[in-house]
């Protein structure tokens, strides 16, 4: 049953939906990340990327499904490149820029975690105060 549902879900994906679900960031960053790792062929980038897809709550992906998903992502990237007027019009980030972006995102995530932890502590203390007032 899960296999059938997963296959139906995969077939319902458009290139845009596949991109948004599995990556969602800018195409320039995707390409830049793979350039830094030595990939220069977009099809190979997409195939390599798809290998790392996690399973879903509908089960693990079969090899043919991974290939299909990689193809959808490739279609999305090429449509984006065409819309931009060609690969030469994309901003390809250097390794240093990518590292800085990663560090900035990591710091934002850590700050969000700290903020959430602080908010939870406040809520817990307020509940404790409310409880003590009732006693």
Decide: pTM greater than 0.85: no
Residues 78 and 126 in one domain: no
* DSSP-assigned states of every residue in 20-68: HHHT-S-HHHHHHHHHHTT---HHHHHHHHHHTPPPBTTBPPPHHHHHH
CB 32 within 8 A of CB 93: yes
Strand partners, 56: 59
pLDDT digits (tens, 9 = 90+) for 5-62: 989 999 999 999 999 999 999 999 999 999 999 999 999 999 999 998 877 777 889 9
Q: How far apart are CA 2 and CA 120, in angstroms?
A: 37
Residues 83 and 99 in one domain: no
Q: Which residue matches tokens 């969000």? A: 112
Total of domains in the chain: 2
Residues 85 and 106 in one domain: no
């Amino acid at each position: 049953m899960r296999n059938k549902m997963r296959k139906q879900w995969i077939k319902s994906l458009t290139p845009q939906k596949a991109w948004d679900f599995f990556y969602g960031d800018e195409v320039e960053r995707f390409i830049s990340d793979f350039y830094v790792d030595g990939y220069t062929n977009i099809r190979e980038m997409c195939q390599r990327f798809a290998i790392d897809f996690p399973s879903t709550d509908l089960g693990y992906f079969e090899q043919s499904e991974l290939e299909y998903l990689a193809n959808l992502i490739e279609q999305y990237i090429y449509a984006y490149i065409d819309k931009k007027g060609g690969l030469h019009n994309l901003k390809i980030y250097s390794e240093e820029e990518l590292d800085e972006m990663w560090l900035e995102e990591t710091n934002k995530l850590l700050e969000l975690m700290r903020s959430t932890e602080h908010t939870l502590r406040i809520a817990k203390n307020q509940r404790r105060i409310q409880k003590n007032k009732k006693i």
